[in-house]
Chains A and B, each alone.
Chain A
């Protein structure tokens, strides 16, 4: 991708807001009662519980830095609950963040997407309104399985995993594309080891979501092969011709995505979606 293409891609983040409303300038000298109120506010803030998410294990309120190593359910009225499995090391980082060093957690959330975060040694799982199970091995690798909604798995790469799918975290941090649980074991294994020759013939129509995620990691020659197989499973719309693969960017595939999501039986991520 050249500089112009990157500029175009990243322009979605460009600052476009007008100047905010400007209030009155602060007076140079505070009145004595304002100073007293400020002191009172500082005292209140110092003694007020900082745990806004208010995570609890039974009646015990978790504090930032607490580590959980025994099977237990922790819950928060604003986030939902997390079941901590056996042989698990889970640390509460404060707010809506947990760190899973190793072991397994099962999370079910009621909070809006993007709020609840679980860090692992190699990746970060961001809840997008969902239920999922995350397992991490002592070597940092692991697997994320999504039972409802979507979960974003991020590090220097990213895998957006929908309901019914999983993503593999390799011990070196590489993230697999989303893989449907009901896809062939041989297909999953081939995708994880990057073996297109074996994977492509085994892909079903539902696995289109996995295939469309492969383009950005592929060479130009591999893109043509992925295109051909994906086109057999979910015919490409007129705006995505085969020869576009030679000057491919992620935007090239945009018209194909809705068809792929539909074929894979998943709905797009909904902003501010709530479960239950």
Chain B
């Protein structure tokens, strides 16, 4: 999952000036992070939709981001707030994770929804890191780079999170 070598700050400055290609590179890099944050808080179908909305909002507000190097934390904050707003506004439109997952197979869908529910029940730090690892398939280095955590913290979160998850699933 190698991404552009261009630093975020450069991509953000170009996007602030209206360069959609640069914003698309930011999207490709951070959509899995945003999606992981949302999937830990919202039903799967909603998480997909809200991820798109987060990036539309980020594009619209990008000129207000004063420190272009702080894009990662900024977009993660938008995602967490969007999840709160979405839950408040549309608590009545929950889509079952298992139903979403039945895009694959029924038996696997039930198991996937079970595992997803177990991850959601973990503390936030483990939950988001495990979503990035297990759902989005990101490496520890990629998670560290895109969340601002140290590689050591990511390793610890993954190790402890996996332990808790195994206990929950056993």
Contacts and interface: CB of A to CB of B under 8 A. Distances in A.
A250 B111 CA distance: 6
A205 B90 CA distance: 42
Contacts of A23: 56, 59-60
Interface in B55-108: 55-56, 59-63, 90-108
B107 A250 contact: yes
Given A10-B134, A257-B107, A15 B102 contact: no
B24 interface: yes
Nearest to B49: A17
A157 B117 CA distance: 8
Contacts of A212: 107
B91 to A, nearest CB: 5
Contacts of A261: 106
Contact of B112 (A10, A94, A97, A256): A10
Interface in A232-276: 249-251, 253-254, 256-257, 261, 268-269, 271
A57 B80 CA distance: 37
A1 B169 CA distance: 9
Contacts of B23: 19, 22
Interface residues of A, number: 52
Contacts of B56: 20, 22-23
Contacts of B106: 257, 261, 268-269
B1 to A, nearest CB: 12
Contacts of B129: none
B121 interface: yes
B115 A6 contact: yes
B110 interface: yes
Given A9-B115, A14-B135, A25 B92 contact: no
A94 B133 CA distance: 35
Interface in B121-159: 121, 133-137
A253 B113 contact: no
A15 B92 contact: no
Nearest to B121: A156
B107 A251 contact: yes
Nearest to B92: A95
Interface stretch (A81-89, A113-121, A181-189): A113-121
Closest 7 CB pairs of A and B: A95-B92, A250-B111, A15-B35, A96-B92, A20-B52, A19-B27, A114-B96
Interface of A: 1, 3, 6-7, 9-15, 17, 19-20, 22-23, 25-26, 28, 52-53, 93-97, 113-115, 117, 126, 128, 152, 154-158, 160, 212, 216, 249-251, 253-254, 256-257, 261, 268-269, 271
